[in-house]
Amino acid sequence: MKAKILTRSAVAAAVAVALSAGYVAGHNNVPAPQVIAPAQAAALMPAEAAAKTGIPDFSGLVETYGPAVVNISAKHVVKETSARSSRNQLPMDPDDPLYQFFKRFGGFPGFGGGQGGPGGPGADRPSEGLGSGFIVSSDGYILTNAHVVDNANVVTVKLTDKREYRAKVIGADKQSDVAVLKIDAKDLPTVKIGDPNGSKVGQWVVAIGSPYGFDNTVTSGIISAKSRALPNENYTPFIQTDVPVNPGNSGGPLFNLQGEVIGINSMIYSQTGGFQGLSFAIPINEAIKVKDALIKTGHVDRGRLGVTVQGMNQTLANSFGMKSPQGALVSSVEPGGPAAKAGLQPGDVITALNGVPVSDSTSLPSQVAGLSPGSSAKVTVWRDKSAKDLSVTIGALKDAKTASAKTGAGGDEASAQDARLGVAVRPLTPEEKQNDSLSRGLLVQQSGGAAASAGIQPGDVILAVNGQPVTSVQQLKSMVEHAGDSIALLIQRDDAQIFVPVDLG
């Protein structure tokens, strides 16, 4: 079985393919089309055409805004021995089952580009990647994806009228995958910016870009989901569509029926590297914020709480006395960080930020990132079976630690077995506490039964049960004995903490 991958959609220039595809949509109870003259239809936006005929006609949109969509060529000079790792590196744990879902297209050797030339391994080899973009101001500012121009030495922009310009990269933000380019030109055609919050699942959308290098290719589909959170893409609530998007579409605009740009096409879900029904776009309101920051300061400031969070499920909700799984469960708090200073604790469930509900752990990072460092925020948490409001001074974002699946080494001291939980544990030695910067905890030496089914492993350190710190083997046994059908164990694994729900029923 071929591995599924989520793929950034830029493509090497040397790719040459033959395409044959069709897009068929069946509709029941569609009003009978009215006869409209071609010139009249071309002047209509798709929404108007749909109202008159029952079927959208995108020709007016393409004719009006197509000239503002550009082709981008990004040239690189890379070492063959390091090119694959630098252009195809996955910032995830290889043990993570989602590791293979992410792969970024670019002009690296071995993917259809930059393979020729003399020198052999270790030699400098030119590589050219193609992508798309769109003009947002008549004086030459262009939006595209950061991965399209990543490490580029020369960036060239080609307009639909065949004019070409050398572009300057004003800034690129890898967290959001948004980049801003500038070309020296005036009176350029521009797109119209829309509001993605007003769009609905099921509405028609249109993509224009350069898939496989075929300039200004138009494809259409519908919005299939909104605010889609993707693994390792913490700061972007993606718009999911079924618009055919392929390598080279990266950085191109996603239009609504009114001809407004509501997103930047960025990623596809695929088993083959080509389109298979799922594509993802960065909401344009998020991209405009990044654009403004890059033009003004050259970088993007994001807020930080200083916590590690994880998702909730029904077992965890039961353990913390919640009726339903919602919010983001705090598994660890950075010592001295903004959350720690405000009194947040492991075991708190963050349910709202400044009054805006936190639906799950994947939505919290983007909500926090949108706050200005130094600003004050109200964080609503669920603690001890009741809601509590805390005031937090937001910090500046930095990389957060996450738990991995690696195991630690056991010790040789006597251990105690808890039959109901299914673990053999022992107290930490003074040396282990010092090495791991822990003041308490029980080291798991063996795991079976309910604990093993929940993912508890030898080498994990049990720190708390249902948010209550564990300091001794006897205390753990007592807590498990008097627990209900489920408990939440806070464990330390490597250098990160995570809550693990355990079903004892």
Residue by residue, DSSP assigns 145-167 as -GGGSTT-SEEEEE-TTS-EEEE
Point out the catalytic residue in the list 57, 147, 176, 348. Answer: 147
Assess whether pLDDT exceeds 80 at residue 147: yes
Q: Is the pLDDT of residue 498 over 70?
A: yes
- Among 122, 103, 107, smallest CA distance to 76 is for 107
Domains in the chain: ranges and CATH: 1-14+34-299 (2.40.10.120), 303-396 (2.30.42.10), 416-503 (2.30.42.10)
- Average pLDDT (111-125) is 41
Average pLDDT over residues 118-134: 67
The β-bridge partners of 330 are 309
CA distance 364 to 357: 9
460 is in an annotated binding site: no
The reply to whether 478 sits in an annotated binding site is no
Which span out of 46-55, 117-126, 133-142, 357-366 was modeled with the highest average pLDDT?
133-142
- Choose the weakest-confidence range: 81-90, 177-186, 413-422: 81-90
CA distance 389 to 379: 6
The mean of the pLDDT values for the chain is 78
Which range has highest mean pLDDT (107-111, 219-223, 307-311, 396-400)?
Answer: 219-223
Instruction: Report residue 166 as tokens.
Output: 């050398």
Distance, CA of 422 to CA of 270 (rounded, Å): 40
Catalytic entry in 57, 150, 173, 177: 177
30-34, 386-390, 496-500 — most confident range? 386-390
The DSSP H or E segment spanning 364 is helix 364-369
* 177 tagged catalytic: yes
Residues 212, 218, 222, 228, CA torsion sign: positive
What is the pLDDT at residue 208? 97
**Tokens standing for residue 21:** 């595809």
DSSP 391-428: EEE-EE--------S-------S--EEETTTTEEEEEP
Instruction: Choose from 19-28, 196-205, 461-470 the range with maximum mean pLDDT.
Output: 196-205
Checking if the pLDDT of 161 tops 60, the result is yes
* Residue 249 assigned ligand-binding role: yes
What number is the average pLDDT over the span 144-152?
Answer: 92
Q: How many whole angstroms separate alpha carbon 336 and alpha carbon 355? A: 25
Q: Is 270 annotated as a binding residue?
A: no
Catalytic residue among 250, 266, 332, 363: 250
- How far apart are alpha carbons 153 and 38 in whole angstroms? 45
CA neighbor of 492 nearest in space, from 383, 408, 382: 408
Average pLDDT, integer, range 207-233:
89
Give the pLDDT mean for 333-358: 92
pLDDT of residue 380: 96
pLDDT for position 14? 34
- Is there a catalytic annotation at residue 250? yes
Determine whether the annotation assigns residue 216 to a binding site.
no
Confidence at residue 118, expressed as pLDDT on a 0 to 100 scale: 42
pLDDT grade, residue 93 (50/70/90)?
Answer: very low
Residues 241-287: pLDDT tens digits?
A: 999 999 899 999 999 999 999 999 998 887 777 788 899 999 999 99
Please tell me the predicted confidence (pLDDT) of residue 277.
85
More confident residue, 176 or 103: 176
pLDDT band at 87 (very low <50, low <70, confident <90, very high): very low
pLDDT tens per residue, range 32-55? 434 444 455 455 667 676 666 667
